[in-house]
Amino acid sequence: MKRYPRDFSGYGANPPDAQWPGGARIAVQFVLNYEEGGENCLLHGDAASEAFLSEIVGAQPWPGQRHWNMESIYDYGARAGFWRLHRLFTGARVPVTVYGVASALARAPEQVKAMQDAGWEIASHGLKWIDYKDHSEADEAADMMEAIRLHGEVTGESPRGWYTGRCSENTVALAAKTGQFEYISDTYDDDLPYWRKIGRRNQLIIPYTLDCNDMRFATPQGFNSGDQFFAYLRDTFDALYAEGAAGAAKMMSVGLHCRLIGRPGRVQALKRFIDYIQGFEGVWCPRRIEIAEHWRKVHPPTRIARPSALKKTDFVERFGGIFEHSEWIAERAFELELGPAHDTATGLHSALARMFRSATVEERMGVLRAHPDLAGKLAAAKRLTAESTQEQASAGLDALTDEERKAFESLNAAYVKKHGFPFIIAVKDHDKAGILRAFQRRLDHETDAEFDEACRQVERIAEIRLEALL
């Protein structure tokens, strides 16, 4: 059995109505990453200097050496950039979520007090601002628990949200396993929060952003000026605001760093953006924890049976009848690389249909012959499957006049004699008169062409059955 963990489906074509407070058309959420004093540095017990997200684009770690210029750039974020941003956000009365690196917060008592006095949320940004991709699961978990402990010691409160940033494949699961966090943000995969089942926990995920993020001032092919940053934020806002006005409200995250956007040559772009969105009706600017509280209240987790998570016996029992009397299709589909994309009617239909299409002609013929005649003897004797009984009744085939029944019996006999299998049609797509017209038309087909058409109808019937089930 192969299972694929990545989810390419999400909410699909019809995302839920976020129902933001006050009927807001968009939630714009500002995150301030506080990392200064938590970055790689020999003073912090690290093996090399920091090389990520600074004015020194393309910097490399210096093993065994302090990088004075790098440290000084980070220091600017704490000494000047933070306070410039604090004045901007408090002056605009826009609340902020801080992603606070615990060891950095411990070195910044004045900044922490200012955050708390302003009513900002301080979520956890890990113990240190380092890369966890090469850490063992045990070492990362130990750092995570120490981050939670130190965060509570420094701020007086346990963090309710988590974002590592420079994470590993284990980060989200480890954070969920703590049972500590009302939300985790180490994903970039949606414009809305969503629930993810991790172990026995329903974990709320509030995706973050790397595009509406000032980090692109410090990366190749990024923003070269504040005007570019403002234009990108404005265009993102306009697109999402329009979607909200059309009834599909979304969330926009804006990621910021004290040492980057806190520079005077960049902060004006952020100010222009704040002024811009405050000129619109229906804009909600919450802290991230308020998004979590809202989502839990309005969109609580729901229990759904995930086909890809079922045992084989349960999978076959539940879906073995989707293709009429052909459990082998479900048995083969179970062995495919199933995942979250197959936990919907469309996704599971794809998996089952693949097994039907790749079967031999004889096997597919067996599926066709397993289907009952329309309004035939089995229906009269009430010996159809529950699915077939309901489907035929939906088109009125359980209440035929004597003349209609005689017409169906005659057509059934002529069709089977010519083609060697029963006439099959997805009755939900037709009324009784339309079924009769299709019957008469398809009776004249060549058998090879009619075999292909019958197979398409079998797949359509399976699709309808799954839509009713999932």
Distance CA 179, CA 7 (A): 23
Q: Catalytic residue at 371?
A: yes
Distance CA 11, CA 3 (A): 20
Does residue 220 sit in helix, strand or coil? Answer: coil
Catalytic residue among 67, 151, 349, 371: 371
The residue type at 244: G
Distance of CA 458 to the CA centre of its chain: 31
Six token digits for residue 214? 């000032």
Does residue 364 sit in helix, strand or coil? Answer: helix
Q: To which residue do tokens 């993810």 refer?
A: 196
User: Which residues 6+ apart lie within 8 Å of 365 measured at CB?
Assistant: 420, 421, 451
Q: Which residues of 42-59 are buried (b: 16+ CB within 10 A; e: fewer)?
A: bebeeebbbbbbbeeeeb
- DSSP secondary structure code for residue 3 in this structure: E
Distances (CA, A) of 83 to 79, 114, 116, 202, 429: 7, 9, 14, 38, 64
Burial of 246 (0-12, 13-18, 19+ CB in 10 A): exposed
User: Which residues 6+ apart lie within 8 Å of 290 measured at CB?
Assistant: none
Q: Which residues are catalytic?
A: 371
